[in-house]
Structure 1
Amino acid sequence: MRLTIGICFMVLSMATRVNSLVGITWGRQQTQQLVPSMVVDLLLQNKIPALRLMTSGYDIVEVFADTNISISVTLNNQFVWQANRKELAYAWINDRIKAPINKGVKIVELAVGSEPFSNTFYKDKRYDHVVGVLRLMRQSLDEMGLGHVRTTTGHGMDVLKVTKFPSEADFRDNIKGPMLDLLYEFNKTGTPFLIYMFPIHFVKDVLNYTMEFAFLDNKSGFKIQDDNATYTNAVEFMIDSLAWAIKKAGYPKMKIMVGQIGWPTDGYPHATAKNAERFHKGLLKFLASNKGTPLRPGPIHMFLHSLTDENLCNTTFGAFQRHWGIYQSNGNPKYKIDFSLQDRDDYPTQAKGIVKMPSRWCKFNGDKSNMNLVNKNYYLACKEADCTVLEKGASCGGISSESKVSYAFNAYFQKYKQDIDHCDFEGLGEIVSTNPSTKNCEFPVEILAFQDVLSNGMVLRI
């Protein structure tokens, strides 16, 4: 029997010399974004050497000049058309890659497209033309003297067929052609295969195994026996599943880089700060050991996902998509994590220089005489603002119906920078200075956006 249950004690020793790399991703789909210079400080203070921007970062990337932080930028699927001809590719690279590099930004990678062949997170559309644009970008970079900048494309685990054993893994039949084209390009330039991995989702919704299998310190004793390889956690299982697929495609030595891996803290079963802390603690111990996986022993390069929550992120696949952040959107860390791989039991550095808006909230005034009006305004507020924490099983899912209306009103009010007109709700809203938060449900006060800095009573654009 290949699938076995047994008591498994994982002993992960810290290596004297740490060779694995730990970077972090940063998406910026937030109503109020951190000032980019604060992000630079966070990375430097926490000794995070690499950042993966989920956009091209054209408006903020120059702030990383002379920091020695390695930067990866992304040309997202919907904007690939901006570089689908030679002259367009040259212009894009000149503006988004070459100009920042000339100013001291250490751009080391360009990701052309993001999960273009997904059948889960981005299942509505395929982007086969990404392969041609990647070739064009590679050629253009070389001709412009930027051969050191890698070109790649990030993929989710859904490019693989669902299997119960890593050795059975292969790429999905309906995308095998373009995947082989991409592998050829990666192999030609020595580029690692970039994979996005989310064990919490993979274990629950793909494998349907015990959630303990998602943790590196699996306490259940559940394990997978695949011939001579034993898997006690999903991380090694997922990496080796991909490694087997790449091997079957003819590239047994192609390196694998984990471009995104993380644990959400809300909006999903088992998505809590406590579990996120446990997951990352085990993951970073695993990386520090440099032991690798049964099929791919040795150091692994990973990017933790992500720096902050994104309350504007698309929630088509679930509310948790807005809650990946290790930090809250206001720069406060959610849980303990040691990016240095030294297994210290400390919170990461808090963002410095955060300016919050005044301590005031918008809440429902309690008038229930017209519930149709109340419900209409509740849904209108949630359509514009982030109400994902109010869903069943989420952190605020257990508060009263009246409090949920207040939360929605406040989320809308904060999104629009506490403008008093955005707390009217047809006479149902009121502005208060007493915090309406409960023990398990925080009613946030937003921070000033990085575009808006208060100086001498004036709002300046920066």
Structure 2
Amino acid sequence: MARGFRLIFATSVVLMVFGICNGSTIGICYGRNADDLPTPDKAVDLIKNQNINSVRIYDSNIQILKAFANTGIDLMIGIPNSDLLPFSQFQSNADTWLRNSIVPYYPATRITYITVGAEVTEATGNISSMVVPAMTNVYNALRKAGLHRKIKVSTTHSLGVLSRSYPPSAGAFDSKHAGFLRPLLEFLADKHSPFLVNVYPYYAYRDSSNNVSLDYALFESSSEVIDPNTGLLYMNMFDAQIDSIYYALTGLNFNTIEVKVTETGWPSKGSPKETAATPENAQTYNTNLIRHVINNTGTPARPGEALDVYIFSLFNENRKPGLDSERNWGLYYPDQTSVYNVDFTGKGTVDVNNGGNLTSLNGVSWCVADPNASEDDLRNGLDWACGSGNVDCSPVQPSQPCFEPDSLVSHASYVFNSYYQQNGATDIACSFGGTGVKTDKNPSYDNCLYMTAGSNNNITAASNITANSHANAHSNSSGQRRFSLPNYHCFLLVIVFVMIQSLSTNV
């Protein structure tokens, strides 16, 4: 009996290890509010070619579900706001829908989430009161079918569900939604379902460009925004918005609910006053977002914590009303040609279709620090690269090959170039707030070898870099690289599991 208990406990540890060690994932939103879109099977081929493993759709279209069968792609499906009333009124409606629209296609089609309603606090009418009853009926239908542990039920929100989002630590839900949010959060906590939110730094910049810098919105800032309540440093608006949600949840004592981002992105075209809606900015945002997420950097308030994110969207959708930007969020035109290139692995070199973003001098280029830049600007760029930029800065530590000469310009040059080469050797990757300068002269000296794209010393294991995005690696004299938090936890859990397994076998 004791041995059996230990075996059961060991098995539970294995499951816990797998649960914690799952890293962040990047998915895509597959909206279809457009003319001349490719057939679902062709859209799925396009998604597979990009190595995307998670997709969100906004309904339960049978042809779409069939197209995703046996692909191994996780699918988030939706129940639109127009169906909330019948789903909330009668359990039989949810039962019938599940029996006809889900069960015949599962598990060949890997449905993992059902979203019940979308951004209901932004919708006209009092439909928010229908959400939790509808979610409850859908959950009950899943439980009857034995699928409630395999398919999670939630609903999506805009950031407008908050009354405050700045500073992040002051994040709080709008009290006018209290009657809707309290039972919703109780449902999510009880069913271990995530809080789903759509996050758009683009709108924050567009509507308040005097207060928000474009670099901060695009993950390109070399200076921090400090939360005065916590002292945490924020290098981009995305992290600040996510943490405002976490703080709002904690403020209502729901700090165990996981957050997932069901929409984020940047438009490639806009109306005349939407000057930031360009292919270059869209590529920059999504490329930096992908690298930020898959590196498991986490956020300042939740360092190293996995965060699943869905990019909006797969195609431009010409039927959408509103400003031009509303119709131009896609990575692809309906004819399946790229609006701009994005590498979903976060490792490859990207290039804007017009060729305007990727340049080199004589085929090879390096990025060094401008010797005329101020010390404060250089230090900010250096600290950012060694922290959020995920650069291995140990070579510029004492006794290491690039420590001498011991000067800020020399250290910044090595670190700037490392970031530049690791991120596609683009003009943007050498900006550092104007303190980076491209050169065609190899700055290597003695045993200090500067990276070039594709060189053996250009391989950086992001999982071995500290997940604390604000650690000042430049001032860390140890020169040692540390485990990121998720990998360190996994390492410890594996050791615990091995010990328990050994005990179970030998006792």
Is residue 2:199 matched to residue 1:197?
yes
- Residues 157 and 197, structure 1, Cα contact 8 Å, conserved in 2: yes
Matches of 1:211 and 1:181, distance apart in 2:
38
Aligned residue in 1 for 2:51: 47
Aligned residue in 2 for 1:172: 174
Aligned residue in 2 for 1:270: 276
- What is the deviation of 1:346? 5.7
Matches of 1:79 and 1:123, distance apart in 2:
15
- What is the deviation of 1:347? 7.7
Matches of 2:69 and 2:294, distance apart in 1:
29
Higher helix proportion (structure 1 or 2)? 2
- Residues 131 and 182, structure 1, Cα contact 8 Å, conserved in 2: yes
- Summarize the alignment of residues 97-116 of structure 1 with structure 2, pairs less than 5 Å apart: 97-101=102-106, 104-116=108-120
Q: Select 1:327's aligned residue among 327, 332, 341.
A: 332
Aligned residue in 2 for 1:142: 143
SS in 1 for 2:255: coil
- Residues 265 and 320, structure 1, Cα contact 8 Å, conserved in 2: yes
Output the amino acid matched with 1:28: R
Gaps of 5+ in 1: 1-16, 349-462
Aligned residue in 2 for 1:162: 164
Identity within the alignment, %: 25
Aligned residues: 325
Q: After superposing the two structures, state which structure 1 stretch, 200-209 or 62-71, moved more.
A: 200-209
Is residue 2:75 matched to residue 1:75?
no
- Residues 114 and 154, structure 2, Cα contact 8 Å, conserved in 1: yes
Aligned residue in 2 for 1:240: 243
- Summarize the alignment of residues 9-408 of structure 1 with structure 2, pairs less than 5 Å apart: 19-84=23-88, 85-101=90-106, 104-118=108-122, 122=123, 126-147=127-148, 148-205=150-207, 208-219=211-222, 221=223, 223-226=225-228, 227-267=230-270, 268-297=274-303, 298-315=305-322, 318-345=323-350
Matches of 2:25 and 2:178, distance apart in 1:
30
- What is the deviation of 1:125? 5.7
Matches of 2:226 and 2:170, distance apart in 1:
13
- What is the deviation of 1:150? 0.6
Aligned residue in 2 for 1:415: none
Aligned residue in 2 for 1:374: none
- What is the deviation of 1:185? 0.8
SS in 2 for 1:282: helix
Matches of 2:275 and 2:99, distance apart in 1:
45
Q: Deviations over 1:179-213 (max 9, x none)?
A: 11111111111111111011110233268422222
- What is the deviation of 1:258? 0.6
Gaps of 5+ in 2: 1-20, 354-507
Matches of 1:112 and 1:319, distance apart in 2:
28
Aligned residue in 2 for 1:10: none
Matches of 1:72 and 1:172, distance apart in 2:
27
Matches of 2:133 and 2:103, distance apart in 1:
21
Kindly report structure 1 stretches of 4+ aligned residues shifted beyond 4 Å.
123-126
Output the amino acid matched with 1:54: Y
Q: Normalising by the residue count of structure 1, what TM-score does the alignment of the two structures yield? A: 0.67
- What is the deviation of 1:320? 1.4
- Residues 108 and 150, structure 1, Cα contact 8 Å, conserved in 2: yes
Output the amino acid matched with 1:129: M
Aligned residue in 2 for 1:447: none
Q: Say which one has the larger Rg.
A: 2
Over the aligned positions, Cα root-mean-square deviation in angstroms equals 2.0
Q: Deviations over 1:366-406 (max 9, x none)?
A: xxxxxxxxxxxxxxxxxxxxxxxxxxxxxxxxxxxxxxxxx
Q: Normalising by the residue count of structure 2, what TM-score does the alignment of the two structures yield? A: 0.61
- Residues 116 and 128, structure 1, Cα contact 8 Å, conserved in 2: no
Q: After superposing the two structures, state which structure 1 stretch, 333-342 or 106-115, moved more.
A: 333-342
Matches of 1:199 and 1:185, distance apart in 2:
29
- What is the deviation of 1:18? 8.6
- Residues 204 and 212, structure 2, Cα contact 8 Å, conserved in 1: no
Query: 1:108–1:163: structure 2 CA closer, same or farther, 3 Å change rule?
Result: closer
Matches of 2:158 and 2:287, distance apart in 1:
23
